[in-house]
Copies of this chain bind each other. A is one copy, B any other.
Amino acid sequence: MAVAAVPSSRRARSNPRRRADEIIEAAAQVFAERGFHGATTQDIADVLGIRQASLYYYFPSKEVALEHVCARGAEGFLEAAAVIAAGPESVTEKLRRLIIAHLSPLLDRPDFVRVFHNERKHLPLASRRRIGKTVRAYERVIEEVLKAGIRNGEFRADLDPRLVTFGILGMVKSVAGWFDKEAGAKIERIVEEFFRLLVEGIAAGGGGRRPTRQGG
């Protein structure tokens, strides 16, 4: 699952496709670390050990590099979620799978996902709009799962599906910010923890206990 770790390829025979991907990968890394506007094309070139001008053999502008990075960062999210939503499982199980699907990409392309989350606002208008539509479609998929759960009684009837969608995504998205630091924490543990937190809540023991304003 880990990236094949293609050596920076000094030898004559590197696949050109691979080379272009390496460039974008370096861009992802640098954009993730310093932000789009905080990163220079020189930084990207330094990662690759090539001259700055050489970058432009592979992509025509820094902005286009960002588009590529964001595209790969967003890749598959909507499709995976749609497949899960269309499945036969209980909504509770679907929720678990959605969390897994949301977090998995962080394992093999964390920088891409981070850049997609944090730097997509710097995309040129056209691609920003396009990607915005995908994001909203993604949110809608989750919202629909929540609604289905409410309808079939698996989830609380008084849930605000939209707000809860944002809450779930916020919680899960935050993982991108600290996943490196906590690299030891297996992603499965995180998934399980968040899944139970979302389904059962924090409260201990017996059932329908309503937390009261004044508490115990």
Specify which of B154, B167, B169, B216 is in contact with A92 (CB 8 Å cutoff).
Answer: B216
The one of B96, B153, B211 in contact with A200, judged by C-beta atoms closer than 8 angstroms, is: B211
Given A154-B216, A172-B170, A216-B92: A211 and B190 interface contact (C-beta under 8 Å) = no
Known: A93-B216, A171-B167, A216-B90. A200 touches B209 (CB 8 A): yes
Q: CB-nearest residue of chain B relative to A92?
A: B215
> In the complex, A174→B89 CA distance in Å?
29
Residues of B near A38 (CB, < 8 A) are 35-37, 122
A202 interface hit (Cβ, 8 Å) = yes
Stretch at the interface among A9-17, A71-79, A101-109, A191-199: A191-199
A130 within 8 A of B: no
A7 on the B face (CB < 8 A): no
The size of the chain A interface, using a CB distance under 8 A, is 67
CB distance from A40 to the nearest CB of B (A): 10
**Which residue of chain B has its CB nearest to the CB of A204?**
B156
Copy number in the complex reads 4
Asked if A207 is at the interface (CB within 8 A of a chain B CB), the reply is yes
- Is there an interface contact between B205 and A208, defined as CB atoms closer than 8 Å? yes
Decide if A110 is an interface residue (CB 8 Å cutoff).
no
Stretch at the interface among A19-27, A42-50, A158-166: A158-166
Cβ of B155 and Cβ of A203 under 8 Å apart? yes
Given contacts A170-B171, A174-B169, whether A203 and B207 have CB atoms under 8 Å apart is yes
21 contacts between A and B (CB under 8 A): A34-B37, A90-B215, A92-B203, A92-B212, A93-B215, A96-B215, A118-B118, A154-B203, A154-B204, A155-B204, A156-B203, A156-B205, A159-B197, A160-B189, A164-B193, A166-B174, A167-B194, A170-B177, A196-B201, A200-B207, A201-B202
